[in-house]
Structure 1
Amino acid sequence: MSNNLQRKAVIAISSFNGPIYPDGHKTGLFLTEALHPFEVLTEAGFEIDLASETGTYGFDFNSLQPPFLAGSDKAAYNNANHPFMVKLNSHLKKASDLKKGEYGVFFASAGHAALYDYPTAKGLQAIAADVWDRGGVVGTVCHGPAILPGIIDSKTGKSIIEGRTVTGFTIEGELIFNILDKLRADKVVPVVEAVTAVGAFYSTSMNAFDDYSVTSGRVVTGTNPQSGRSTAERIVRVFDSL
């Protein structure tokens, strides 16, 4: 492991919480896409901060419904004393309050909300760029890659994903959620279009909800809610190999 990297991670959370689904329900943080990485990183000995651009958040409605929320995940959500829920509800940081030089890992959790605020989340992008420039690991899941075009490598002046292979939520998935027309109307850019526009190669699973994750150097990405845990496990392996 690189000597200048602390075993400390920041999990980014979307601050957008608006109605986008056909039934009027809101998007926001997709719970398990932050919870599962939190669990994996905690078990691997990382200290973890949670942060959004504004220091606020709301939940994605669909993330709190079956089949996306069940079993131990539902138990965690319903337990106000669970370490993740305590951090989320009592210690969520604002991006501008985060200190550069503290983190070895930056991870962007998601929800459709990420498409709305991550592209302009300059505070979160700056922390991620600092992690990258110091040799750390940058990871995302599902719609989290919306933040990647704005994370700039100080040596090249270009996005850290230029020439790299990444994954993220599929167009097929947007059609399953019946949300693509709404995204187009709101002029937000689906993941595949956002990442390829800055020179990344997009890779995807056979099916929209298969567990699928990709490592490309120090960039680690996952496709969907089912991929949060495997993505975080990849991040740990990359970090421990630095």
Structure 2
Amino acid sequence: MSENLPRRALIAVSSYHGVIYPDGTKTGLFYTEALHPFEVFTRAGIEVDLASETGTFGLDDLSLTERFLSGDDRSVFDDPKHPFNVKLNSQLRTAAEVDRTEYGLFFASAGHAALYDYPNAHALQAVGADVWARGGIVAAICHGPVILAGIIDSRTGRSIADGRTVTGFTVEGEIVLNVLEKLESDKVQPVVDVVSNAGADYSSPMHPFDDYSITAGRLITGADPASARSAAERVVTAFDSLTAA
């Protein structure tokens, strides 16, 4: 079954765009958490589409600061004709409209916005579940692993994270960014709570912004923005091992 997987990835994007940070700025898609997987996948000869639950998105303001967007990444951001920006700004698809069977890889990008919409992003979850059922790779970065609770293994009736080790953004990181109280007041759960409640074994990086990613069979997760590239590289390695002759 897995040897016939399409060499094509769907990168999921959060639709939520709202104020979260103490300075009044908004969360949304954390830019490099989609850009870096896009770069890794396309360089590996994997076609990439982007989709959100509603077909809309907004950018996370923190992700556009110099701390998180500089050098080559800033150059990409400033180029409206870059293939990633074209995909994001004019070809973003609605999850319910995509043909699930076209994808062998599902990668949930993030931003704090994922905490708000991924738990109820049923169309995105359905794409991930279909990829998983056909033997493909499912991955998520930073806050993206909250989507895993709703990606159900049709054979077990439970989350694909159940019984597997995953990582994601830490509570310590939320404290460092001074957003934990906001999350609590909005009644959204941090990653560790969501994945633990889904039966996963949560593994934390030593520091909240370390490059830290985990392969658990066909499920791959990364802890934070610094891990987006390494997680995507793990995805390519795992996919190629599945489809090797």
Per the normalisation by structure 1, the TM-score is 0.99
What is the distance in 1 between the residues matched to 2:122 and 2:83?
28
What is the distance in 2 between the residues matched to 1:183 and 1:100?
32
Q: Which residue of 2 aligns with 1:178?
A: 178
Q: Assess if the C-alpha contact under 8 Å between 1:4 and 1:134 holds in 2.
A: no
Q: Assess if the C-alpha contact under 8 Å between 1:10 and 1:103 holds in 2.
A: yes
Q: Which residue of 1 aligns with 2:87?
A: 87
What is the distance in 1 between the residues matched to 2:3 and 2:198?
31
Q: Which residue of 2 aligns with 1:134?
A: 134
What is the distance in 1 between the residues matched to 2:143 and 2:99?
25
Counterpart amino acid of residue 180 in structure 2: L
Gaps of 5+ in 1: none
Q: Percent identity?
A: 63
Q: Does 1:105 align with 2:67?
A: no
Q: Which residue of 2 aligns with 1:68?
A: 68
Q: Which residue of 2 aligns with 1:199?
A: 199
Q: Which residue of 2 aligns with 1:143?
A: 143
What is the distance in 1 between the residues matched to 2:204 and 2:11?
23
Q: Which residue of 2 aligns with 1:21?
A: 21
What is the distance in 2 between the residues matched to 1:2 and 1:151?
19
Give 3-state SS (helix, strand or coil) of 1:140's partner: strand
- How far off its partner does 1:2 sit? 2.4
- How far off its partner does 1:3 sit? 2.7
- How far off its partner does 1:56 sit? 0.2
What is the distance in 2 between the residues matched to 1:100 and 1:88?
19
Counterpart amino acid of residue 156 in structure 1: T
Give 3-state SS (helix, strand or coil) of 1:101's partner: helix
Runs of 4+ in 1 over 3 A off after TM superposition: none
Q: Across the two proteins, how many residue pairs are aligned to each other? A: 242
Per the normalisation by structure 2, the TM-score is 0.98
Q: Which residue of 1 aligns with 2:56?
A: 56
Q: Which residue of 2 aligns with 1:36?
A: 36
CA offsets, 1:162-198, max 9 Å, x none? Answer: 0000000000100000000100000101000000001
- How far off its partner does 1:4 sit? 2.4
Give 3-state SS (helix, strand or coil) of 2:100's partner: coil
CA RMSD of aligned residues (A): 0.8
What is the distance in 2 between the residues matched to 1:4 and 1:191?
33
